[in-house]
Structure 1
Amino acid sequence: MTTSVNTNPGAMVALQNLNKTNMELSEIQTRINTGLEVAGAKDDGGIYAIAQRMRSQVSGYSAVQQSLDRGMATVDVALAAGEAISDLLIEMKEKALAASDASLDTASRSALNEDYKALRDQISTIVSNAEFNGVNLINNSTNGFVALANQDGSNTITVADENLSLSGSIVTITSTSSFSTATAASTIAGQLETSLDNVNQALARLGTKSKALEIHDSFVTKLSDALEKGIGNLVDADLAKESARLQAVQTKQQLGIQALGIANAAPQSILSFFRS
């Protein structure tokens, strides 16, 4: 091999190997810092594309969960209000039945009527306040609540509105309903019985939808978790393995620096040829 001060092949090779080691060390340090084996498209274009698509799905399911949570809260508010109305109707029926007793004196019937009207008015108060996030499912102000069911929005779960307002199709008694005679009280008691059955059926429908939302929310949570795990399997770095590689590459780097130093010192041996 030619000995020259102009060209040092040994130093070139040593520098190439050192640069390669430094690149490998930089890659390992990036994996340790980010925790990712595939942090960008240049690391592995195919895996990165798959992971990004899965991340998009996870993001979509996060929106679905938020929609389902709002739906469950809205329905729970409606259920709480409906149950309170059902209890009020039971009390109102008790008052009307008591007032339907023909042997009851006028003063007692009037007192029962006042209690009845107070309970009646409470229904309107409950209905008007049974709202969550601007949605009221029991006052006939909406067509229902539509919750997202999948990550691209192509499927939904609809909760129908249940109108529990007075004078509606479910609660048939009017907002001015009252009684002054035993006959009127008996008629109202019959209306209350029908209204109570209707309300309980509406509560059953709302309860079924609430359960459906809860079940789907649990499913979406599990699905999102499975996708997160899948993404991790694709792109996460094995930190134990990278730690072991880091020590090995750092050793190679030190050896490479020493090898480069030896190669750079080689041309100095030419001086020995010119010593007398």
Structure 2
Amino acid sequence: MPLNSINTNVAAMQAVAAFNAINAEMAQVQMRITTGRKINSPKDNPAIWAIAQNQRGELRSLDAVKGSLQRGRSIVDVAMSAAETVSDLLNEIRALAVSAADFPLGDASRAALNDQYLALRKQIDITVANAGFNGVNLLAAGGGDRVRALANTSATSTIDVDPVDMSTGGALLAGLPADLLGGLGATSIADIKAATDRVNGAIGKLGTGAKALDNHLKFVVKQQDTLEAAIGNLVDADLARESARLQALQVRQQLALMAMQIANRQPSYLLQLFQFR
């Protein structure tokens, strides 16, 4: 192909190709600046996009794990609060039993102490019956409810907290006198103390379960933060670098426009060869 041709302007085609390439790169840089990401779709980098998308799925699954742990923690916290109230009531019951033993059977003072005792026994059952959260009660009679909080995103591991029956008819409060009107001796008062000790031991187990839930929840939150940072390392754009690239591309774009103008003027220069004086 002749170098001096008016039918085919190679220089202009090259300038247009360079201009289009610069525009395409500029559009990519502007997209990165707008979104803050260097990987916005699979066509940017299919492998990195797939890895990041998989980790986003893991991040969303950890939200479900965190929700399960928070729900379990709330259930146990409500149960512990009620159980502490039961322990306080048992301390009062023990004090009443000791006081009642000081009065003979049929004494009016003993009858008054018995009324208080029965009210406290009833309060224990009321407290236990209202120790539920979101339909789960770890202290109710029968012990049918339990906490099984998710510990991982594959749902293959759980943080377990078992129920404890703190009703007056349960095993923990076995030996608690029906009233204070019968014969009260050292054995009866010892039974009340033993019931109190069993309740306090059960509260300790609830506390251990609550601590396990808290610790694992903290771990999951840290795991989410680490995953989020890892995803950012893969797909986030360096805005300072992209800003510098944008300025360089703007200069190259202007130079490409000037090159196009020069190339488009080249055929007109050939006309001067045919000017006769």
Give the TM-score, by structure 1 length.
Answer: 0.93
Structure 1 CA distance, aligned partners of 2:227 and 2:247? Answer: 33
Indicate the residue corresponding to 2:107 in structure 1. 106
2:262 alignment partner AA: I
Indicate the residue corresponding to 1:166 in structure 2. 168
Structure 1 CA distance, aligned partners of 2:143 and 2:197? Answer: 22
Structure 2 CA distance, aligned partners of 1:37 and 1:173? Answer: 71
SS in 2 for 1:146: strand
Indicate the residue corresponding to 2:237 in structure 1. 237
Q: Is the 1:167–1:173 Cα contact (8 Å) retained in structure 2?
A: no
Gapped regions of structure 2 (runs ≥ 5): none
Structure 1 CA distance, aligned partners of 2:40 and 2:173? Answer: 60
Q: Is the 2:103–2:110 Cα contact (8 Å) retained in structure 1?
A: no
What's the offset of the Cα at 1:105? 6.3
Structure 2 CA distance, aligned partners of 1:178 and 1:29? Answer: 82
Per mean C-alpha deviation after superposition, the further-off stretch among 111-120 and 2-11 is 2-11
2:87 alignment partner AA: S
What's the offset of the Cα at 1:151? 1.7
Structure 2 CA distance, aligned partners of 1:172 and 1:149? Answer: 35
Per mean C-alpha deviation after superposition, the further-off stretch among 103-112 and 48-57 is 103-112
Structure 1 CA distance, aligned partners of 2:186 and 2:106? Answer: 15
* Aligned counterparts, 1:125-144, within 5 A: 125-139=126-140, 140=142, 142-144=144-146
Structure 2 CA distance, aligned partners of 1:232 and 1:192? Answer: 60
Q: Is the 1:96–1:185 Cα contact (8 Å) retained in structure 2?
A: no
Indicate the residue corresponding to 1:192 in structure 2. 192
Report how many aligned residue pairs link the two structures: 274
Provide runs of 4+ in structure 1 moved above 4 Å: 102-105, 184-188
What's the offset of the Cα at 1:169? 1.1
Structure 2 CA distance, aligned partners of 1:185 and 1:109? Answer: 14
Structure 2 CA distance, aligned partners of 1:153 and 1:47? Answer: 27
Deviation track 1:207-254 (CA, whole Å, cap 9, x = no partner) reads: 001111111111111111111111111111111000000000011111
Indicate the residue corresponding to 1:262 in structure 2. 262
Q: Is the 2:138–2:162 Cα contact (8 Å) retained in structure 1?
A: yes
Deviation track 1:131-164 (CA, whole Å, cap 9, x = no partner) reads: 1122111103534110010122111111101111
Aligned-residue CA RMSD in angstroms?
A: 1.8
SS in 2 for 1:147: strand
Deviation track 1:65-102 (CA, whole Å, cap 9, x = no partner) reads: 11111111111110000000000001011111211224
Gapped regions of structure 1 (runs ≥ 5): none
Per mean C-alpha deviation after superposition, the further-off stretch among 211-220 and 186-195 is 186-195
Structure 2 CA distance, aligned partners of 1:2 and 1:212? Answer: 81
Structure 1 CA distance, aligned partners of 2:175 and 2:262? Answer: 102
Quote the sequence identity (%): 44
Indicate the residue corresponding to 2:9 in structure 1. 8
What's the offset of the Cα at 1:189? 3.0
1:165 alignment partner AA: S
Give the TM-score, by structure 2 length.
Answer: 0.93
1:151 alignment partner AA: T
Per mean C-alpha deviation after superposition, the further-off stretch among 184-193 and 140-149 is 184-193
Structure 2 CA distance, aligned partners of 1:93 and 1:124? Answer: 17
